Chain A
Amino acid sequence: MKLRIVLIILAALGIAYLVINFKPAPAAPQTTDAAAPSSTDPQTTGATRLPRLLDDADAVPASFAEAPMLAERVAADALPPIEQRLPAEPAVIAPTDEIGRYGGTWRAGFTGPADGQNIDRIQHNHLLYWSADVKYVTPWIIRAWDVSDEGKTFTFHLRKGMRWSDGHPFTTADIMFWYEDVYQNEQLNPVRANWNQIGGQEGVWEQVDDHTFRVRFSQSYYTFLTELASLGVAGHFTRGNQALGVFAPRHYVKQFHPDFVDAAELDVQVKAEGFETWVQLFKFKNDPKLNPECPVTTPWLVKTPVNTAQMVLERNPYYWVVDTDGNQLPYIDRIVLGLAENLEVLNLRAIAGEYDIQGRHILMEKIPVLLENQQRGNYRVRYWPSQAGTDAGLFFNQTYDGDAEVAHWLADRDFRIALSIGIDRGQLNEIFWLGLGLTGSACPPATVAYSPGEAYRQRHAQFDPDRANQVLDELGLKQRDSKGYRMRRDGAGRLVLEVQTIGAAFINFTGIAENVTEQWRRHLGIQAVVQELERSLSVTRHENNDVQVYVWSNDGSDNPWAHPFQVLPNHVRSWAPLFGRWWQTGGQKGREPTEPARRMVELYEQGKAVPEQERYALGQELLKIYADQAYVIGTVGVSPAMMGVWVVSNDLGNVPESVPFSTPAQTPGHALPEQFFFRVNGADRPGT
């Protein structure tokens, strides 16, 4: 009985504590830096220092060194010496601040088998990759490339002597195996990938020699390089589970492919492993996150898979990247990701200092508590803001056909503009972004190369309810009902818009939508109903063109060619599903697109065919239309709201103060986690 009394008193105290401590979010958490020991942090120089890939041959160090745990294995003859494991032309990284030291375990959290992106982003497995500031494409697994034939032919050079994590050589055989036997296998890949096509024609891949391969297109396709560097294509570690990922360990996975083994034997194996078809078995075996046997080319290899209570990764003894002193990377020995069944637990663990670096799943609303516990938890909070225009945009379905009156208004530019200037974005910023975001349209900030400038960043984004009301009146929506709501023109009562959101996302879309619709009600007399849908239902409704307005972030809008999905209407789950279907089916299904949506896609297609310098002007024109038409009404953006709040242990070195958060470049991958290191001795740290 006593226990219960104690417990109840505890509970009461807890509630009281929460109530007393509840206060509105601070305008901006300015105490970030003051609270942390900053002697070792490279903050004084102003501009953030970033790690960098050195791509000239002179940068390759004369001698190499390896981690103690690998040296032991070499001494025991369990592993060949370092010189035989590294390629003749390793990738060389200049670390963020300093040469690191080996050892330690990086503790982090994940939420289950569907959270594969968590580890994909750390491993950043791509043929080409992005610079840390996400401004240009760099070599990665591909050491160098030549573009010839006006951007129709690409010749790629691999690193001679590079190896898979089991020591087997990595050559063009692995790329051609993927292209010929995996990608072109009708059962593994019944549908052709968009990124390997231009003008409706597929790219043709061919082997030149063991370390050189060529891809030919029938038209100029300069952005093929951008595609290879980005999430859409990615590599074996990220997309092997879908039989994509541009390369595969031929020597290992061919034993699960019917072109290489006896069909009857394969069938026995399929049944023995509990699968129904060889396709399922192959995709399972080719997924290193699920199958630790599968060789990789990533900094860490998987020890226990992602479908267990603790995912463990350990250094890859054949990793082909070194620092400027010739130390083989990664510095950190191990990564341990603990399963958290819900985000509250994950965030509380971060607050308690149980993670060394964690940005994914850290919720923005936790910033005050995170800051409060910095010293106690021996970490610092860093902000890695996205460069996208809006973290929560209202996407207006341009091809809605469920209700003619509503469809008319959704497609009316002036109507959208009125709704846009009827939003007080400053209020949203204070409530949901703790003042850390920038208000504006859906257009990315002027600092981005593709940005058409600050004027478009602010296009239709100034709060002006009087003008909004005047526009709505002039459009023929003057009639109001007894409660003050505007009426439909067809006499069927009040005009009601449906705004669709999903819950359990990284950003509180539903809360933001509720606030926006409340502002519309108060300022404009427009009624909008927020519907939070179960995720699967939201996808189904979107694909069926049943959604009027939906809320999502427009990540990737800073580079429409790296990540066009939230900007362009040329795919089904976009702001014009029927146009998207039309483009996807070559005009067979869907609805023929109208201007200026059509113009946007034209500009995008044109941009694919020109080198980067010429592409900027096209991107600016594209984003001008995007902002000017207000297909997507921006609210607040350029903030760390989407996975951009990072909890970084004070023991860690070489973690950049800030990098732009990027979906196509897979943050924190472009901050090069292999060069993060622990300053203190591994043995003194928890979890090792």
Chain B
Amino acid sequence: MLTYLIRRFMIALGTVWAISILTFVIIQLPPGDYVTSYIAQLEASGDIVTDQEAENLKRQYGLDQPVTMQYVKWVSQIMRGNFGMSMEWRRPVGDLIGERLALTVLLALAALVLTWILALPAGIYSAIRQYSPADYTITFLGLVGLAVPNFLLALVVMYMGFRYFGANVGGLFSPEYIDAPWSLARCWDLMKHLWLPALILGAAGTGHLLRIMRANLLDEIRKPYVVAARARGLQEHRVVLKYPVRLALNPFISTIGYTLPVLVSGSIIISIVLSLPTVGPLLLKALLAQDMFLAGTIILLIGVLTVIGTFISDLMLMWVDPRIRMES
């Protein structure tokens, strides 16, 4: 058991190291650097950058160092807990991500909980009433939820909110609460804004999950042990909930590994469309501006969370399902 854990841990460590290299390579891949994208951005916004200023900037940021040197510098900084300074925001990367992380996770958790609350019962119901009108309806709606891109849903809902309900457009706070300290009123204001993006974010996930649940349960429900349980006169809901549902949940647990990074990165597109102060828009902007340290840290964070999540889901599977063996 212990050796298994240690082995998994060492593999995880190696993976994180590989991710850090990959992250850096990905960020270096596009042509140009922060200075060229800075110039482009200024010019696109109606400012000008003279040839002299461009030259000044290139020298200031020292982006001419070899890539390996830049990588070593970056990693050694991170080892010391310093994620560097964002070039675009001119603030420490740790602060920037930190202030947006809580809201990001809150939003994703809200969406996740909503998804599970909707998808699991619906999935179970449509499996045990297979080919009934209710099953068809649920399946249809699930597929629609899967098929409609959620950014489109976000745009439409946002326009509706403005047109018919006079709601604030986008964001997670009303303007007066953006800089306010935390208070009950601010929490309530957040709740008023949070449910909509959570719902939109959960729409596709719900469709996906309920289809998986339905398929898994259908596989299980036909197995002899279920027939045997029924034959012994167990009540139908106990038959279903006690055995096949538990087994059908296995795939869910093994995907918890992916849930952790999704908490950070899942809401990127929705956040951009709805202008939510989460990590998503930060990442997009950092990538566009080639803000190396900021983009690198976010991608690394998502990578590390995937590794941790996988590790946790391995442990949980081991615990839930004793059939899984510890040796490879």
Contacts and interface: CB of A to CB of B under 8 A. Distances in A.
Instruction: Indicate, yes or no, whether A interacts with B.
Output: yes
B51 A342 contact: no
Interface stretch (A61-69, A306-314, A463-471): A306-314
Given A114-B45, A192-B52, A536-B37, A309 B31 contact: no
Interface stretch (A519-527, A537-545, A593-601): A537-545
Contact of B170 (A193, A274, A345, A663): A345
Contacts of B153: 7, 11
Contacts of B160: 10, 13-14
Contact of A244 (B53, B60, B290): B53
Contact of B203 (A4, A352, A537): A4
Contact of B169 (A290, A345, A537): A345
B325 to A, nearest CB: 40
A584 B281 contact: no
B68 interface: no
Interface stretch (B185-193, B225-233, B268-276, B316-324): B268-276
B141 A4 contact: yes
Given A113-B88, A348-B170, A536-B31, A341 B276 contact: yes
Contacts of B176: 687
A117 B46 contact: yes
A352 B178 contact: no
A308 to B, nearest CB: 8
Nearest to A105: B175
Q: Which size bracket describes the interface of A in this complex?
A: 35 or more
Interface stretch (A129-137, A488-496, A498-506): A498-506
Contacts of B170: 340-341, 345, 348-349
B285 interface: yes
Contact of B275 (A18, A244, A342, A504): A342
Interface in A647-663: 663
Contacts of A117: 42, 45-47
Nearest to B202: A4
Interface string A558-598: 00000101000001110000001000100000000000000
B81 interface: no
A433 to B, nearest CB: 18
B243 interface: no
A671 interface: no
A424 interface: no
A366 interface: no
A7 B122 CA distance: 17
A341 B271 CA distance: 8
Given A274-B85, A274-B92, A304-B179, A348 B159 contact: yes
Q: Which size bracket describes the interface of B in this complex?
A: 35 or more
A27 interface: no
B236 interface: no
A534 B31 CA distance: 9
Contacts of A279: 60
A235 interface: no
Mostly helix, strand, loop or mixed at chain B's interface?
helix
B36 A540 contact: yes
Contact of B199 (A3, A112, A351, A534): A3
B32 interface: yes
Contact of A193 (B30, B42, B50, B152): B50
B179 A537 contact: no
A114 B35 CA distance: 12
Given A1-B118, A5-B141, 9 more contacts: A107-B175, A113-B89, A307-B91, A338-B175, A338-B178, A535-B37, A536-B31, A580-B51, A663-B46
Which 9 pairs from chain A and chain B are nearest by CB?
A14-B156, A535-B40, A536-B32, A536-B37, A345-B275, A341-B281, A345-B170, A341-B275, A191-B52
Interface of A: 1, 3-5, 7-8, 10-11, 13-15, 18, 107, 112-115, 117-118, 120, 189-194, 231-232, 242, 244, 274-275, 279-280, 283-284, 290, 304, 307-310, 312, 336, 338-342, 344-345, 348-349, 351-352, 354, 502, 504-506, 534-541, 543, 555, 563, 565, 571-573, 580, 584, 642-643, 663, 687
29 contacts: A4-B118, A4-B141, A4-B145, A7-B157, A8-B145, A8-B148, A10-B156, A10-B157, A15-B156, A114-B45, A114-B285, A115-B45, A117-B45, A284-B90, A304-B179, A308-B179, A309-B179, A339-B277, A341-B170, A341-B275, A341-B281, A342-B272, A342-B275, A352-B166, A354-B168, A504-B44, A539-B32, A539-B40, A642-B46
